[in-house]
Structure formats: structure tokens, C-alpha cells
Amino acid sequence: MSGIPAAVLVALRLHNTLSRRIEPLEPIRTGQVSMYTCGPTIWNYAHIGNFRTFLFEDLLRRWLEASGLSVFHIMNLTDVDDRIIREASTRGTDIRSFTEPFARAFFEDRDWLRIRPAHVYPRATDFIESMIALVQGLMDRGFTYQGEDGSVYFAIDRFPAYGRLSQLDRRELKAGASGRISADEYDKENAQDFVLWKAARPEDEAVGAAWDAPFGRGRPGWHLECSAMGLSLLEREGLGPVLDIHAGGVDLIFPHHEDEIAQSCAYTGEPHFARIWVHGEFLNVRGSKMSKRFGNITTPRDLREDGVDPGALRLLLFQTHYRQKLDLTDDGLAAAREGCRRLGEFDARLRRSGLRPAGGESEFAAWGRSLEQKAGEALDDDLNAPEAVAATFQALRDGNRLLDQGSLPAEADLAAWERAIGVLDIMPVGTGAAAILSAWPGQGVAAGELPESPPAIPAEAEAWAMAWAAARSAAKGRKDYKEADRIRALLAGAGWELRDTRDGRAEVRRSTG
Ligand SMILES: [Zn+2]
């Protein structure tokens, strides 16, 4: 008898916005987690407040994978909404040309901040068919009505669970539900029937933001996009109609996620669109809520130009729990830069020190175990990154003391250090591990359909490498070792190094040098 696979025993507990309680993560499928994180609206450079959310999601993803789970991660790019149409129209261009540079910039910023790429980045305008099918399904089930202009609205009083996620009072709802709203963004005071499909106006046509549908030419509402892309990708991967985790910033709880739940559950008939909803708090810049509306934009590229190390920025953000507001201040940033520098210095000292022979006793063995245990317990406890960071700095102090005393680490101790810092990834540039991409076993593409050479666009090249790594795992599963070797060589030829993890998954990383 083999033991219970480690992946069955998930120790992670997360704060679920649905229940306002910390709950154990119980994956729907043993060893696998489906995760949807709302991505950027590519109408501008994403600001550091957006990236605080993406970084907490990155930590969640890394910790799930470090815990032995296969994660299927979807992040959408919103490339059609009120603001994009307005901006494209002002510049006399179409929405595709207008948004493309911001999509590229987003991937650059993501890579600079060492955020693990999602397995798919669906763009709203590539999923119009799924959106039309979702609207049609909701119409057939009686959850909608059409306005005079042909726009399709979701009738929230026909969905009794409406307001559950945002804890919207039923009385507030009654008072507000007398009308309907067609704007993409609105607040709780304006809880009303929301738009699923907006009838095409001449200004939409002018920028390429109108599509034919059985219920009239138009374009999707913002909230509809995530439901349609999430459900359609889950189906493609054979993962059923419910996500394990849905994440985003707290500003998305209402109306965006409330509306996603209404559309998705009314369509599927399931009680949930996601089992667990996790939300990250705001980042304040010197005391005021960080948002483009307030005019105090700070983007990762501003910080990069300022010479800030991405490791320092990760450290700064992880020093505050994701559910607490964080003030970004110059002092805080300076302290994080110093902390990051010290980590790099210690890491170099540890590697220079030489290894003690296997079997030799040393206090370093307890040091490595203690770090991994403390950091692991902290992250299992609703992703308590500040505690994990504290454990890392404790290890730095203890490790320096041990080295001062002439103790030497064994290879296993170094490995424990690398695993712990690999999850937070708060080391300075040049010392941290290279970006690792984890393959998803399904990956949605049969090996026969995969091109043999990588696409030129970096994000697509990553998806290509992850898909081949998944195809190789499948070949190994079939005991087709010849094909598995061929794929390894194919990846190596395109500059990707492949590694099997102890739990049977595959990882790829760009070869260095
Ligand atoms: Zn969304």
C-alpha cells in the first residue's frame, strides 16, 4: 500500500469572503486547484495597487504549488469596456490597437515583479462567442429582460442569492432595485439590474467594439466577461462549472464579483461560482486610497526607473498581511531595500561557506527544518506572509551566528533555505531563483496540435513551454519514454530547461546562458 498522496492533505486555510470566516481549502478534485484571478483592464499601465493584488495572488499560487497541488490558473485581460472605448475613440484608433501596448506592458511588469504566469490569459474580445452563449442561456432561463434600445439586463430580483457575497441588505436591495444601470462601475448605493449586453452605438462601431448576436448587435458588459471566460475555460479543461478559488482586490467584491456569481450560478444552477473567494486589501500611497481617479499614480515602471529592486518591492508588500491596508511610504520602501540587500548578502555568504559532509552533525540541520516549518505554518494560516518574512529574517540572524561559530550547512539545509525563499522570492536581482513555470497536466492542448517551435510573443512562448511540459508528463504516463525524451530535447532546443518535481509534476524554466 502506498501512503496517502501528500496533495490530499491540504493544510491551507483561507479567509472566504462568502462566509467571512477562515476555512480549510478542500479542492474539488484531489490534488488539483482551479483558480481565477481578475486581471487588468488594459487601458493604461497597471498601477502598483493593482500589482499588490497580483502579488498576493502570486504568493497564493506559489504556496499551493509548493504544497504539492497542480494549479490551473486563469487571469483575464479586459480589452473592451467603457473606458477603453472612450480612449480609443479619442485617439481615433480601434480597441485592439489601443489595448495591445498595455497588454505587452502588463506582461513586462509581471515578469519584472517575478509573478508566475497564469496558464491562460483570455482576452474578452477573443471570447465573444462564449459571452453570447451565456447571455442567451440566461435569457432562456428567464433571468433577463431587454431595454428599449435592445440592451440585455440581468434582473437581480429573480436571483434570490444576489447580495450574499457583498452582504448587501435585502432592504437596501429593494430600495435600489427599482431601476437598472448600464455603466460598468457603480457602488452599493446603486445596486440595480446590471447590463449583460449593451446595444451597439455608433461610437462602439467606430472603434471595433460591436458584435452580432441573436438578441441584437452590441458588446458585453464588463461583469459578463469573467463569468463567460471562466466557465468556458473550466469546461475546456474538464474541470466542471465551479472554481476552487476566485481572487481579486476588495474593490471587486461589489458589484463585479456579486454580478459574476449571479450570472454564473443562474446559468449553471450551481450554488457557487467559486468555493472560496479571497480578496486583497488596498494599497495607499501616503494615506490616500490608490486609484487612478485620485491622480496619484505610481506604476511598477516608475519604481523600476527609480532603481528599486523587485525583490525589495515583493518584500515590502509581503510584510503586510494581504487583508490589511498598506501605506506605501518612502521610509517603508527604504527599509525593504535594506532588508532585501541583507538577504542577498546572507545568501551569498551561505553559498560561499562550503558544505559540511553528509551525515555530519550541525546545528544547521535544526536551522533549516525550523525555517521551513515556521514559514509553512505561517502561509497555511491564511497566507500569513509577514510571519513567513519574519521567519526568514530570523533564519538570516541565526544562520549568520552559526557561520560565525564555524558551523557549516549541509546540502539539505541549503535546499530548505531555497525552498523557503523560493516561495516569497524576496531576494535581490541576480540571487533569486529563475522564474519557474509549472505545467498544468491538462493544459487544454493535445501534443499533436502544438507547434514544434515557440511563438515569438513572450507570454505565448511561456504557454507553449508549459503545454509541451504537460504533454511530456502525459507521454511519461503512457510509458512512451521515446516521446518524453523527444519533448525534453525540443524544449531544450528552444531554451527551456525541464525538471520533474518530487510530486510528479513538471516545471520549466528558461535556461540560463
Ligand atoms: Zn472579474
Contact 226, 264 (CB under 8 A): no
Q: Is 5 a residue whose pLDDT tops 50?
A: no
Query: Residues, the chain, total?
Result: 513
Boundaries of domain holding 87? 6-294
User: 506: closest CA among 443, 447, 416, 455?
Assistant: 443
Distance 69 CA to ligand 1 centre (A): 24
Contact 268, 238 (CB under 8 A): no
Give percent of the chain with pLDDT exceeding 90.
Answer: 66
Pull the grid cell for residue 164. 450574499
Average pLDDT, rounded, for the chain: 88
Distance 41 CA to ligand 1 centre (A): 10
Q: Which of 113-122, 359-368, 388-397 has the lowest mean pLDDT?
A: 359-368
Q: List pLDDT tens digits, range 40-85.
A: 999 999 989 999 999 999 999 999 999 989 999 999 999 999 999 9
pLDDT of residue 508: 84
Q: Is 251 a residue whose pLDDT tops 60?
A: yes
Contact 511, 492 (CB under 8 A): yes
Distance 235 CA to ligand 1 centre (A): 17
Residues 407 and 354 in one domain: yes
**Residue 61 located in a structural domain:** yes
Pull the grid cell for residue 118. 497564469
Residues 67 and 154 in one domain: yes
For 154-175, b where at least 16 C-beta lie within 10 A, e where not — what string?
Answer: bbbebbeebbbbbebeeeebee
Distance 256 CA to ligand 1 centre (A): 6
Q: DSSP assignment of 459-508, as one string?
A: HHHHHHHHHHHHHHHHHHHTT-HHHHHHHHHHHHHTTEEEEE-TTS-EEE
Distance 129 CA to ligand 1 centre (A): 18
CA–CA separation, 471 vs 477, rounded Å? 10
Residues 288 and 406 in one domain: no
Residues 388 and 463 in one domain: no
pLDDT of residue 176: 47
CA–CA separation, 178 vs 193, rounded Å? 8
Backbone dihedral region for residue 327 (phi beyond 0: left; psi -120 to 50: alpha; all else: beta) = beta
CA 309 to chain centre: 21
User: 384: closest CA among 73, 15, 16, 38?
Assistant: 15
Distance 248 CA to ligand 1 centre (A): 8
Mean pLDDT value of segment 398-412: 93
Total domain count for the chain? 3
Distance 430 CA to ligand 1 centre (A): 35
Examine the fold and report which residue of 376, 397, 424 is the final residue of a domain before the chain moves on.
424
**Residue 94 located in a structural domain:** yes
Distance 224 CA to ligand 1 centre (A): 8
pLDDT of residue 182: 81
Residues 416 and 462 in one domain: no
Contact 85, 218 (CB under 8 A): no
CA atoms within 13 A on the CB side of 62: 23
**Residue 151 located in a structural domain:** yes
Distance 63 CA to ligand 1 centre (A): 22
Higher pLDDT, 210 or 508: 210
CA–CA separation, 221 vs 256, rounded Å? 10
* Residue matched to cell numbers 518591492: 313
Helix segments in 196-252, DSSP class H: 202-206, 222-236
Pull the grid cell for residue 213. 448576436
Residues 254 and 125 in one domain: yes
Mean pLDDT value of segment 393-421: 92
Q: Is 346 a residue whose pLDDT tops 50?
A: yes
Q: Is 486 a residue whose pLDDT tops 90?
A: yes
Examine the fold and report which residue of 365, 397, 424 is the final residue of a domain before the chain moves on.
424
Residues 258 and 319 in one domain: no
User: 289: closest CA among 42, 41, 49, 39?
Assistant: 49
Distance 298 CA to ligand 1 centre (A): 23
Residues 214 and 325 in one domain: no
**Residue 430 located in a structural domain:** no
Q: List pLDDT tens digits, range 429-465.
A: 877 555 567 777 665 556 667 888 888 877 778 888 8
Residues 289 and 198 in one domain: yes
Residues 248 and 125 in one domain: yes
pLDDT of residue 172: 66
For ion ligand 1, residues whose CB falls within 5 Å: 38, 226
User: 40: closest CA among 102, 96, 113?
Assistant: 102
**Residue 1 located in a structural domain:** no
Show the CA angle centred on residue 277, arms to residues 271 and 282, nearest 5°: 150
Give percent of the chain with pLDDT exceeding 70.
Answer: 89
Contact 79, 125 (CB under 8 A): yes
Distance 277 CA to ligand 1 centre (A): 12
Examine the fold and report which residue of 266, 294, 322 is the final residue of a domain before the chain moves on.
294
Tell me whether residue 434 is exposed, middle or buried, using C-beta atoms within 10 angstroms of its C-beta: 0 to 12, 13 to 18, 19 or more: exposed
Residues 367 and 447 in one domain: no
**Residue 381 located in a structural domain:** yes
The domain spanning residue 68 has which CATH number? Answer: 3.40.50.620
Distance 419 CA to ligand 1 centre (A): 32
Highest mean predicted confidence (pLDDT) among 4-13, 254-263, 403-412: 254-263
Q: Which residues contact 206 (CB under 8 A, 6 or more apart)?
A: 89
Residues 164 and 214 in one domain: yes
Residues forming a β-bridge with 249 = 280
At residue 347, what is the residue type? D
Contact 45, 109 (CB under 8 A): yes
**Residue 269 located in a structural domain:** yes
CA of 452: how far to CAs of 135, 440, 460, 475, 509, in Å? Answer: 38, 19, 13, 16, 18
pLDDT of residue 92: 95
**Residue 299 located in a structural domain:** no
* Local structure of 44: helix, strand or coil: coil
Distance 38 CA to ligand 1 centre (A): 4
Distance 450 CA to ligand 1 centre (A): 29
